[in-house]
Amino acid sequence: MTPEQKATYMRRCFQLARLGEGRVAPNPLVGCVIATDDGILSEGYHRQFGGAHAEVNALNALTPAGRSQLGDATVFVNLEPCSHYGKTPPCADRLIAEGVRRVVVCNTDPNPQVSGRGLRKLRDAGVQVEEGLLTSEGWELNRRFFTYHELKRPYITLKWAETADGYLDADDPKPIRISSDLTKALVHKLRATEQAILVGTRTLLKDNPSLHTRRYYGAPLTRLAIDRNGRAPLSSHLLDGSQPTFLFNSRRDDAPWVRLDFDGDVIQQLLQFLYDHRIQSLIVEGGAETLRRFIVRGLYDAVQVETGVYACGKGTQAPDVPLGTALRTACYDGHRMVSFRKMKQ
């Protein structure tokens, strides 16, 4: 099989893996292709957390004719096959039992429960294993999963909408509308790819946000708010019981309240809480002070800024945009949306 064919099949794994986005966390996105020099025999991907893994779905999709060619085929998978019992049996064991002779892997699994053990098990069983194909593309696909395991914190996206003259809101008791219906839907699409969303006290009290994804299909987010003195009223949308919710404060420690030491490093305590609860990705949506606290600490991986079409003259100044590598700039209804990644140190 040529290097070009191998790269094509691995990129097909990436395509398949993305079909599980929003449904498999905290598991990684994984696709699998079983192929020969003549073409693909079967495909599969991890569809749902707790469900069968990509390799198992691909093996189960083999036709009788395809299964007869399995000994001459190569299994492509973008992440190391698991070697432990979790929600499902080890995929490495299934591959060995099926008589697979060749496996090509993009990335090794950073999860300590796997981390090389799956590849070792395959090699010990006589399977020819090739690893490291398109590793940077594989890391990008599972950047949330890798960040969580490598940095021991969630992958953090800072997101805000500002007026044409750079304000998050006006000097007015009521919130102002910056986003259009279309850009709101795009924000909900972004939310649907992440696990948790955080706002600060001012946003909680002034905007009374729901922090949902009703304009786009996706699993409910875990909603988070910093509320040091426990000022959230009972009428707050975050207390409606519709989604998992935690309010970080200095007084109470009964659900949904979580007590933190506000004389200490609140952001680090919050991130440790998310790590302990296996939350691998976080959107920080404001307000200004909360966003700045993450920016100053360099605790972000991606940023998305929407600039609206109207000016408000005065109000709460938006944060200065941190340095980053631009990914995408687009305009919708006259609104400019810019996405970029943190510059690597």
Taking 90 as the threshold, does the pLDDT of residue 19 lie above it?
yes
Question: What is the spatial distance between Cα 216 and Cα 224, in angstroms, rounded to a whole number?
Answer: 20
Give the CA diameter of the chain.
71
Residues 165 and 243 in one domain: yes
Whether residues 131 and 273 fall in one domain: no
Q: What is the pLDDT of residue 221?
A: 93
pLDDT of residue 22: 87
Question: What's the whole-number mean pLDDT along residues 187-201?
Answer: 95
- Express each pLDDT in 39-74 by its tens digit: 999 999 999 999 999 999 999 999 999 999 999 999
For residues 94 and 184, membership in a common domain is answered with: no
Q: Which of 146, 164, 191 is the last residue of a domain?
A: 146
pLDDT at 216: 85
| 253 and 177 share one domain | yes
Of 43, 55, 80, 285, which is the active-site residue? 55
SS3 label, residue 292 = helix
Over 60: is that where the pLDDT of 345 sits?
no
- Please give the model's pTM, rounded to 2 decimal places: 0.93
Which of 146, 162, 191 marks a domain boundary?
Answer: 146
User: pLDDT tens digits for 241-250?
Assistant: 999 999 999 9
Q: Which domain holds residue 212?
A: 152-342
The pLDDT score that the predictor gives to residue 273 is: 98
How far apart, in whole angstroms, are the C-alpha atoms of residue 258 and residue 284?
18
User: Is pLDDT of 288 > 80?
Assistant: yes
CATH code of the domain covering residue 18 = 3.40.140.10
Q: Which helix (H) or strand (E) holds 268?
A: helix 266-276
The DSSP string of 44-62 is EE--STTS--HHHHHHHT-
Residues 41 and 34 sit within 8 Å (Cβ to Cβ): yes
- Are residues 124 and 167 located together in one domain of the fold? no
Collapsing DSSP states into helix, strand and coil, what is residue 306? strand
> How far apart, in Å, do the first and last CA atoms of the chain sit?
38
- Which pLDDT value is given to residue 222? 97
* Domain boundary pick from 146, 166, 189: 146
Residue 150 is among the residues annotated as catalytic for this protein: no
86 confidence band (pLDDT: 50, 70, 90): confident
Q: What is the pLDDT of residue 172?
A: 84
Is the pLDDT assigned to residue 123 strictly greater than 60?
A: yes
What CA–CA distance (Å, rounded) separates 230 from 233?
9
Q: What's the mean per-residue pLDDT of the chain?
A: 94
**Same domain, yes or no, for 288 and 316?**
yes
Using CB atoms within 10 Å of the CB of residue 276, give its burial: 0 to 12 exposed, 13 to 18 middle, 19+ buried. Answer: exposed
Q: Count the domains in the chain.
A: 2
Same domain, 63 and 173: no
Distance of CA 223 to the CA centre of its chain: 15
User: Same domain, yes or no, for 113 and 176?
Assistant: no
- Of all residues in the chain, the percent with pLDDT exceeding 90 is 88
Residues 201 and 133 placed together within one structural domain of the fold: no
Question: Would you say residue 84 has pLDDT above 80?
Answer: no
Residue 115: count of CB within 10 angstroms of its CB: 15
